[in-house]
Amino acid sequence: MSFKRNIMITGGAGFIGSHVVRLFVNKYPHYHIICLDKLTYAGNLANLKDIEQAPNYTFVKADICDYERMLTLIQEHNIDGIIHLAAESHVDRSIKDPFTFARTNVMGTLSLLQAAKVHWEAQPNRYEGKLFYHISTDEVYGALELTHPEGIEPPFSTTASSGEHHAAYGTDFFYETTKYNPHSPYSASKASSDHFVRAFHDTYGLPTIVTNCSNNYGPYQFPEKLIPLFINNIRNRKPLPVYGKGENVRDWLYVEDHARAIDTIFHTGKIADTYNIGGFNEWKNIDLIKVLIKTVDRLLGNPEGHSIELITYVTDRAGHDLRYAIDSSKLKNELGWEPSLQFEEGIEKTVRWYLDNQSWLDNITSGDYQAYYDVMYNNR
Ligand code: NAD
Ligand code: TYD
């Protein structure tokens, strides 16, 4: 079968990657989507169960740090577009084991960049019609100042009726022009990979785009991150470990909105450019946790406030960034992308999904999900 494009999506078995793979496989039957993933603890083929039989989908288990393998795969599939999401992504793990983050996020990205460069430079039309699209995070910008507005009660919509955006907890946002100032080993490794991507454009002319997105939430997120961890703990009546005073602020975006942004940028973004992606949706952790508790209790039929007692304040994360807030106006003004979901709607959908898919959560927490590759690809 001949396809119009051959697109490699790395980290496609992870949280965001699986939504991007699903969107591309369903929306573009004339593209061949090669989902490449090492299947670390965070990779789960059950995230892709509904599309694994699609004729335009291929899964490859591989490590992006394996340069020879990356080159061979890119050549064999004649890849013309790479959407690079594979990474170690959890800040707490990076504090315990920074080497793994440098290896995957920095050296892995470098190995993919070099493999793409070698293959594309050998083509008659070289870089024409090619794209290396690198998915990064707002955490590379560091942390913003946190102020406490008087008399404002959550939820904090940052969209004024005029349509202009106002920062809920400070006077500023992260812009595409904000200087990099990473604090955690995770964000330092992502910042380094962003620099390598831009260096490959500036030095060799490799067609690249970088996007920096705020915190994502939604189905298929590994339950070590705040929202799925807390939903799972509420349902199992386990403590909810709130770091510090729960005052830190994050800007939350529904994962399918991120996947739509990636689609828009992959097809219409300007080469060598950078776009910030975010929901203008700042929440203090403790306020968000209270909304989660209320929603889970309601959907489980518990009396209101039933799970508040599970909140447990614990020692703060080392170097815990106080506030993230993305200004994504450039993406809206230049490419027309906007988030589609209000936060309350997104949280309701998310909680319902985890409660309706408890076996997915149970398989992860028991470790059973990791056998799925052998069942699907080795023993068939
Ligand atoms: P995730 O941890 O859920 O998934 C990462 C995936 O990468 C997993 O499937 C894992 O198996 C795979 N992987 C890890 N090391 C690999 C290697 N060496 N070779 C091949 N595959 C490997 O992460 P996520 O939350 O889906 O994040 C995806 C990307 O988006 C990351 O680059 C992250 O930095 C970025 N990002 C995430 C968020 C967020 O809120 N989750 C926000 C902004 C940007
Ligand atoms: P997380 O989901 O790890 O994302 P990130 O650190 O990349 O923003 O955490 C979101 C926020 O929630 C962050 O401020 C840390 C906090 N947090 C807790 O208070 N308790 C927890 O158990 C976790 C995982 C996070």
- Secondary structure (DSSP) of 99-146: HHHIIIIIIIHHHHHHHHHHHHHTSTTTTTT-EEEEEEEGGGG-----
CB 274 near ligand 1, within 6 Å: no
**180 pLDDT exceeds 90?**
yes
Residue 138 annotated in active site: yes
Mean pLDDT of 215-233: 98
Is 186 one of the annotated active-site residues of the chain? Answer: yes
- Phi/psi region, residue 336 (left: phi>0; alpha: psi -120 to 50; beta: rest), is left
Q: Is the CB of 231 under 6 A from ligand 1?
A: no
Distance, CA of 9 to CA of 17 (rounded, Å): 7
Burial (CB count <10 Å: 0-12, 13-18, 19+), residue 357 = middle
Residue-wise pLDDT tens digits, 21-49: 999 999 999 999 999 999 999 999 999 99
Which CATH topology does 5-218+253-280+320-342 take? Rossmann fold (3.40.50)
Q: How confident is the model at residue 160 (pLDDT cuts 50, 70, 90)?
A: very low
**pLDDT tier for residue 371 given thresholds of 50, 70 and 90:** confident
Provide the mean pLDDT of the chain. Answer: 94
| Average pLDDT of the residues in 169-182 | 93
253 lines ligand 2 (CB under 6 A): no
Ligand whose nearest atom lies closest to the CA of 39: 1
Is the pLDDT confidence value at 168 over 80?
A: no
Spell out the domain ranges in the chain: 5-218+253-280+320-342
Q: Is the pLDDT of residue 166 over 70?
A: no
Which residue intervals of 122-241 are DSSP H helices?
Answer: 185-204, 226-235
Ligand positioned closest to the Cα atom of 262: 1
Query: Measured between alpha carbons, how far is 258 from 129 in angstroms, rounded to an integer?
Result: 23
Which structure tokens are listed for 117?
A: 């460069």
Cα distance between residue 365 and residue 228, in whole Å: 12
Is 275 considered catalytic here? Answer: no
**C-beta 217 within 6 A of ligand 1:** no
Tell me the CA–centroid distance for residue 278 and ligand 2, in Å: 17
Residue nearest to atom 25 of ligand 2 (CA): 226
Name the band, by pLDDT with cuts 50, 70 and 90, for residue 337.
Answer: very high
Of the residues 37, 63, 138, 251, only one is catalytic, namely: 138
Residues 275-333 pLDDT 10s: 999 989 999 999 999 999 999 999 999 999 999 999 999 999 999 999 999 999 999 99
Tell if the pTM clears 0.95, that is, is over it: yes
CA distance 22 to 4: 18
* pLDDT at residue 376 greater than cutoff 70: yes
- What is the Å distance from ligand 1's center to 120 Cα? 25
Q: Which atom of ligand 1 is nearest to the CA of 139?
A: 43
Mean pLDDT of 204-209: 98
List the catalytic residue out of 139, 251, 257, 282: 139
